[in-house]
Amino acid sequence: IDTLIDPVPTSAPSAVAQPAAAPTPSLSQWSLVDFDDAPPAVAQAPAVAAPGPAQWDLGKLSLMDLDSDGEGGAAAMIPAEDRAQGVVLLMAGIGGPDAIRRMLATLPADGMPGAVLVQLRLDGGRYANLVTQLERVCPAPVELAQAGHWLAAGHVYVMGDQTSVESEGDALRFATLPAGASVLGDLPAKGNAVVTLSGADAERVDAVIELAHRGAWVAGQSGEGCYDPAAASALAVAGMPIGEPAWLARELLSRWGL
């Protein structure tokens, strides 16, 4: 015990000889003591000060509604009237970031009835970094797509490799993409659009054209200024329109009445 108590200054020996007459110690003179030798009231002081569960009024707490499938509680965060009624999927690869930036820069800050999806394959999957970069040039809100979340109208979403889109009624929400599947297989066609930009996977052109046959608007980036136009060239052969990113953006906005 003596080793835990602050030594008394040698200049005040009387305080040691007559402890009963010593004045009340200041805060600087406090020291640690063995709780086994301390009075019961002192040992119980921390328990009295700490709030216990009984102090919570559970009747005043409220919980956010969780989605019935349990995939994401945030699915209920977007009111039904604010959910996107349609989507535009931008597919890109090598050379695609510049085209994506040029298209997103033309979007309005609000007023779009649908959502824009960005699918750009990245080594290492640093999609959160892509969100940060696109936020600098896009007037509309940019977010990372998360399974279970409804798509909000007027928002831009960066999609990871394992993210897909599913419809429920007239609205759309993100879901987990099964292994080996493609987002094109789950994307509703009618009223939606797909645009292939530089570096888009040419092997997926047939699936894109199938969406066009089912009612989607499909277009591609023209060869001028396009680093890898293979997918867009295949669309052109199939009779789909191609053009510069700025023209593609104007066409998409006109389809939304903007």
- Span 34-48, pLDDT tens digits: 434 444 444 454 454
How confident is the model at residue 105, as a pLDDT? Answer: 95
Average pLDDT over residues 229-240: 95
pTM, two decimals, is: 0.70
The residue that leads in pLDDT, 137 or 16, is 137
In whole angstroms, how far apart are CA 74 and each of 10, 77, 199, 202? 66, 5, 33, 35
Amino acid type, 76:
A
Burial 56-75 (b: 16+ CB within 10 A, else e): eeeeeeeeeeeeeeebbeeb
Longest CA–CA separation in the chain, Å = 105
Tokens representing 183 are 């987002």
Average pLDDT over residues 115-140: 90
> pLDDT tens across 128-159, in order?
899 999 999 999 999 999 999 999 999 999 99
115 φψ region: left (φ > 0), alpha (ψ -120 to 50), beta (else): beta
Tokens representing 94 are 């090598």
Q: 């006109």: which residue's tokens?
A: 254
How confident is the model at residue 200, as a pLDDT? Answer: 95
> Residues 6 or more apart from 154 whose CB is under 8 A from it?
84, 108, 110, 111, 112, 113, 115, 140, 141
The residue that leads in pLDDT, 56 or 91, is 91
How confident is the model at residue 23, as a pLDDT? Answer: 52
Dihedral angle computed from the Cα positions of residues 170, 174, 179 and 185, in that order, rounded to the nearest 10 degrees: 30
pLDDT over 70, % of the chain? 70
Tokens representing 9 are 């200054």
Can you tell me the distance from the alpha carbon of 98 to that of 226, in angstroms, rounded to the nearest whole number? 9
Tokens representing 192 are 């939606």
Neighbours of 167 (CB within 10 A): 13
How confident is the model at residue 178, as a pLDDT? Answer: 84
The residue that leads in pLDDT, 252 or 167, is 252
pLDDT over 90, % of the chain? 47
Is residue 249 pLDDT above 50, yes or no?
A: yes
Burial 148-158 (b: 16+ CB within 10 A, else e): bbbbbbbbbbb
Is residue 121 pLDDT above 50, yes or no?
A: yes
How confident is the model at residue 44, as a pLDDT? Answer: 52
